[in-house]
Amino acid sequence: MNKNKPVIDRPFLAAAEEKVLLTLSRYVLEEHIIRAENYFPDHLIQEKFLISAALKTEQGVFVTLLSAGHLRGCIGYITGRGPLFSSVIENTMNAASRDPRFSPVREQELAAIKIDISVMTPLQKISSLESITVGRDGLYLKAGIYCGVFLPQVPLEQGWNKNQYLEHLSLKAGLDQSGYLQSDAEIFSFQAQVFGE
């Protein structure tokens, strides 16, 4: 994933904190799949893992599961919904068993699964399409009842230029290819600190 790793202006997690989140996500994945565990109380997690102040902040986060380099599940939120470490727990379980594009992960798959975590910066409304930088910016498009999001690494992985990125984002939102140009369309950018196993 390194060649497709997006650039972030100011990383906010240290390498040790990244490692804690990856170890936590792996623990939750295995407990959830092998033992059907769905409840991980914050106080027990904080006894088992070194949860720093940064891991208790509210930030958007996605957990992506890959098998042989292919997407196997990806769930998250673009804005914070509680402590970051708790969101990683929830999104790990959801990516493993509630991504509607895939059947739930099975125990025999666990050894082949690799975990990527994308921790988001706050959304910033885009006033000019020229300000979008492929390889740095994730995008969230909203137009009426339609919305879609791509993490910053997606256009890198797909080899898209800026126009292709916006067209695919429009399609993902349920609009036509030029939906991002609609008068009611709002585009927000964000960056992500992306790390994985």
What's the CA gap between 54 and 115, in Å, rounded?
Answer: 20
Write down the pLDDT at residue 53: 96
What is the SS3 string spanning 118-143? EEECCCEECCCHHHCCCCCCEEEEEE
Element (H, E) at 115: strand 113-120
Write down the pLDDT at residue 108: 97
Write down the pLDDT at residue 1: 44
Question: Is 165 a residue whose pLDDT tops 50?
Answer: yes
Task: Say if residues 160 and 134 touch (Cβ distance below 8 Å).
Answer: yes
Write down the pLDDT at residue 5: 77
Give 7's pLDDT tier (boundaries 50, 70, 90).
confident
153-172: average pLDDT = 96
Q: How far is CA 73 from CA 13, 98, 102, 176, in A?
A: 24, 8, 7, 25
Sequence-ordered list of residues with C-beta below 8 angstroms from that of 146, at least 6 positions apart, any chain: 173, 174, 175, 179
* Structural domains of the chain sorted by starting position, each given as residue range(s) with its CATH number in brackets: 2-121 (3.30.700.20), 124-192 (3.30.1490.150)
Q: How does pLDDT run across 32-88, given as a tens digit for each residue?
A: 999 999 999 999 999 999 999 999 999 999 999 999 989 999 999 999 999 999 999
Q: How does pLDDT run across 85-139, given as a tens digit for each residue?
A: 999 999 999 999 999 999 999 999 999 999 999 999 999 999 999 999 999 999 9
Write down the pLDDT at residue 6: 83
Write down the pLDDT at residue 185: 97
Q: How does pLDDT run across 8-40, given as a tens digit for each residue?
A: 888 889 999 999 999 999 999 999 999 999 999
Question: Is 2 a residue whose pLDDT tops 60?
Answer: no
List, in sequence order, every residue forming a beta bridge with 141; answer none if it has no partner.
148, 187
Write down the pLDDT at residue 3: 62
190-196: average pLDDT = 96
